[in-house]
Amino acid sequence: MAGLALEGPNPDLDVLDSVNGLAKDAPNWVNRAMEYIGEYGIIAGLAVLCLIAWWTARRKPDAPAAIASLVWAPLAAGIALLANIPIRAFVERPRPFKDHAGLEVLIPGKSDFSFVSDHATLTMAVGVGLFVANRKYGLAGIALALAEGFCRVYMGVHYPTDVVGGFALGTAVALLLAPPAQAMLVPLMTAIGRSPIRWLVVAPGTSADAGADGLAGQDAENGRVVAAGSGMPRGRGERERDKDLAA
């Protein structure tokens, strides 16, 4: 497109021109579908994928640790989006349609900055977070994130480098912060697994649920061993002395 021509080669604009050019030649119903998929549909698909992964992870013997890994995926996305706020404010890159005429813009009216793409950041953070927890679901999540990046360029609302930057940010947050996140989330999920709402962490009737019942019973038994008046466990010698006195 003539509106995108600049002096010298510019791969960013060349890719934008090629991908967004597909929208100019596509039927209107295809563009409307891409608009919905790129703005809402893929994010909804990732949410469904996370729910399926959660339902499966609850049945694993190590359910609390597996659920902790899955919880990290949406948390990583939220942290990555927060990290993107100062990045966008610092770079202040306008949307491509503001500087380059001739684009087919499927969602007009966006006035915020372009770099990096929130949608690309969010979807890749979730995809990589899922990959840390489960390779199969993670690969599906990463594929959805890549499709999201394509949609953002197709819709004319982001440069390709906006998308690549979002992928890098989401991946970095999901991977680099995973170890400390796990250190905090695993004990939390283990505690929930022993609580009345343990169905959130372990599926009823599974081995993990039976183990949670055993741990909860052990905790209750330990509580009953504590001496009522002193609040301290009674030693073996004290119990034997009580038996002698009773005799």
We report the CATH number of the domain holding residue 90 as 1.20.144
Tell whether 158 and 227 lie within a shared domain.
no
When comparing pLDDT for 209 and 107, which is higher? Answer: 107
Tell whether 140 and 23 lie within a shared domain.
yes
Rounded to 5 degrees, φ, ψ at 232 are -120, 150
Return the pLDDT at 240.
52
Quick one: what percent of the chain has pLDDT higher than 90? 63
Tell whether 143 and 213 lie within a shared domain.
no
| Final residue in a domain of this structure, among 168, 191, 214 | 191
Return the pLDDT at 207.
61
pLDDT at 152 over 90: yes
Is residue 196 included in any domain, yes or no?
no
State the pLDDT confidence band at 107, using cuts at 50, 70 and 90: confident
Return the pLDDT at 3.
39
d(CA 121, CA 236): 59
Residues 162/168, Cβ–Cβ less than 8 Å: no
Tell whether 234 and 210 lie within a shared domain.
yes
Is residue 128 included in any domain, yes or no?
yes
pLDDT mean over 140-158: 96
pLDDT mean over 4-9: 51
What average pLDDT is seen over the chain? 84
Q: What is the pLDDT of residues 69-103, one digit of tens each?
A: 999 999 999 999 999 999 999 999 999 988 888 88
Total domain count, the chain: 2
Q: Domain limits at 212?
A: 205-246
pLDDT mean over 206-232: 48
Tell whether 163 and 226 lie within a shared domain.
no
Is residue 4 included in any domain, yes or no?
no
Is residue 5 included in any domain, yes or no?
no
Tokens of 46: 């990732």
Is residue 142 included in any domain, yes or no?
yes
What is the pTM for the complete model shown?
0.79
Which positions ≥6 away from 59 have C-beta within 8 Å? 203, 206, 208
